């Protein structure tokens, strides 16, 4: 510590206190000092010179597997803020000690990246300082790259369409899942809160607490590239995705009333008499999402385990079929059961209606729209594996499928800008 005296206006004697600042990556620590001078053109700095040693010696690249540290070694100076961001705009999360003596990164650095670190400080008299430095990280030694494929394809969908993320490598460890999840960014306009849910070791789904807003734009991207996920596994490149939502279309089928009611943007626009699954073949209850629209489908009972030649066997040419499960549940034209539509449930699980009504429904819904069934004796639509039953999990259970649920209080990914927080 050095004390510098000078005379300001009126001959008043003042003292400026310098602060020693250490920037370290792993074992590399080098100190340097700076005297503040309010008469100089440059503002007070925490350090006039920052040099690196150890893993980040001059001319060498930093080890991305080691944390970034900023330390104020002089008790008369303190760190007030640190930001570290790479050339692609990814911020490094970090924690700042309550006394301003130390900041350290809490999220991993990317390999093969160039970082800019901005350190704000103040001395014992409150004089501010600022230091900006840059460094690069080396190439990873890992042999595997974790790539992410987002779905669905770019386009316009209904408000029930979840976003999916398929990984090319399994991720089982919860801490590693948290690294992946923090790097998968979903932004919507209008903004809504949402969360990822791990379906299995290689698949995640993202949905808001409620349905997406109508006419929203949803942008999805991965910030995993170069980030260490686990031993010999780092994030690879991934293609971003933009989708949009159309009108809010919800088709509510009351199996007990034998009626399907279509709402568009909160207004009822059509009621359709229908038939649903008869005893032993009950239609699933719950929320389903339109998966596809198929103008013509040949439906055979053998594909769902009904033996040919039995009393329940069938082989039908079906038109205007709107698929809601992968196992074969549709909303479709059923001209053979028009006499029962609106009065009785006689199907093998599908929602049947007249050909004219099926064509209207087919023409007025899109992939991602909601088809909900109530008052059926059937089981509830499963959340995963047979389509998109994601909305059948309440928000608490959905959030429980996130690797970030337990550390949400410390998760900087919850904020728009990752910056140090006091501990």
The whole-angstrom distance between residue 129's C-alpha and the CA centroid of its chain comes to 36
DSSP 316-330: EEEEEEEE--TTS-E
What's the average model confidence in pLDDT over 374-385? Answer: 96
The most confident of the ranges 133-137, 223-227, 228-232 is 223-227
DSSP 252-274: EEETTTTEEEEEETTEEEEEEE-
Q: What is the C-alpha separation between 386 and 326, in angstroms, rounded?
A: 5
Give the model's confidence band at 25: pLDDT under 50 very low, under 70 low, under 90 confident, else very high.
low
CATH 2.60.40.3780 fits 3-139, yes or no: yes
Closest by CA to 85, choosing from 110, 49, 53, 112, is 110
Sorted by where each begins, the domain ranges of the chain are 3-139, 144-246, 249-392
Flag whether pLDDT at 232 surpasses 70: yes
Catalytic residue among 197, 205, 332, 348: 332
Neighbours of 6 (CB within 10 A): 12
19 is catalytic: no
Flag whether pLDDT at 71 surpasses 90: no
Higher pLDDT, 92 or 330: 330
% of the chain with per-residue pLDDT over 90: 55
Q: What is the reported pLDDT for 28?
A: 39
**If you search the block for the tokens 């001395």, which residue do you land on?**
123
% of the chain with per-residue pLDDT over 70: 78
For the stretch 104-123, pLDDT in tens is 888 888 888 888 888 888 87
Flag whether pLDDT at 90 surpasses 70: yes
Q: Is the peptide bond before 148 cis (omega within 30 degrees of 0)?
A: no
Mean pLDDT of the chain: 82
Higher pLDDT, 93 or 157: 157
What's the average model confidence in pLDDT over 245-261? Answer: 98
- CATH superfamily, domain 249-392, is L,D-transpeptidase catalytic domain-like (2.40.440.10)
Topology of domain 144-246 in CATH is Immunoglobulin-like (2.60.40)
332 is catalytic: yes
| Residue 149, helix vs strand vs coil | strand
Query: Kind and range of the H or E element at 363?
Result: helix 355-364
Q: Which residues lie below 8 Å from residue 311, measured CB to CB, with a gap of 6+?
A: none
Q: Is 144-246's fold the same as 249-392's?
A: no
Catalytic residue among 91, 197, 348, 350: 350
What's the average model confidence in pLDDT over 357-386? Answer: 97
What's the average model confidence in pLDDT over 282-305? Answer: 89
């Amino acid at each position: 510590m050095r004390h510098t005296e000078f005379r300001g206006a009126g001959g008043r004697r003042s003292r400026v206190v310098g602060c020693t600042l250490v920037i370290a990556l792993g074992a590399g620590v080098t100190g340097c000092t700076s005297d503040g001078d309010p008469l100089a053109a440059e503002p007070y700095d925490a350090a006039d010179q920052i040099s690196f040693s150890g893993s980040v010696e001059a001319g060498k690249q930093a080890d991305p597997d080691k944390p970034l540290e900023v330390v104020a070694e002089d008790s008369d100076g303190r760190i007030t803020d640190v930001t570290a961001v790479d050339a692609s705009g990814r911020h490094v999360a970090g924690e700042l000690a309550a006394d301003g003596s130390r900041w350290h990164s809490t999220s991993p650095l990317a390999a093969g990246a160039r970082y800019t670190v901005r350190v704000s400080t103040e001395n014992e008299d409150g004089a501010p300082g600022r230091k900006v430095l840059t460094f690069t990280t080396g190439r990873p030694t890992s042999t595997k790259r974790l790539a992410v494929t987002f779905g669905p394809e770019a386009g316009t969908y209904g408000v029930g369409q979840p976003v999916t993320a398929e990984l090319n490598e399994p991720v089982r460890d919860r801490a590693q899942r948290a690294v992946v999840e923090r790097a998968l960014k979903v932004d919507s306009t209008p903004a809504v809160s949402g969360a990822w849910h791990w379906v299995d070791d290689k698949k995640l789904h993202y949905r808001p607490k409620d349905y997406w807003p109508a006419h929203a734009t949803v942008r999805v991207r991965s910030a995993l590239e170069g980030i260490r996920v686990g031993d010999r596994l780092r994030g690879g490149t991934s293609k971003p995705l933009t989708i949009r939502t159309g009108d809010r279309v919800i088709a509510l089928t009351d199996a007990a009333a034998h009626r399907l009611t279509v709402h568009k943007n909160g207004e009822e626009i059509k009621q359709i008499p229908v038939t649903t699954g008869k005893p032993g073949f009950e239609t699933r209850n719950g929320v389903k999402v339109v998966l596809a629209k198929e103008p013509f489908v040949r439906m055979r009972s053998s594909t769902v385990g009904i033996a040919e030649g039995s009393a329940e066997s069938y082989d039908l040419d079906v038109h205007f079929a709107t698929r809601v499960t992968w196992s074969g549940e549709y909303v479709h034209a059923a001209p053979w059961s028009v006499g029962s539509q609106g009065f009785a449930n006689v199907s093998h699980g599908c929602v049947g209606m007249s050909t004219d009504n099926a064509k209207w429904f087919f023409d007025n819904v899109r992939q991602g729209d909601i088809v909900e069934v109530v008052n059926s004796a059937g089981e509830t639509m499963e959340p995963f594996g047979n389509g998109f039953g994601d909305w059948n999990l309440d928000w608490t259970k959905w959030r429980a499928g996130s690797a970030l649920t337990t550390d949400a209080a410390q998760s900087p990914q919850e904020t728009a800008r990752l910056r140090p927080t006091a501990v």
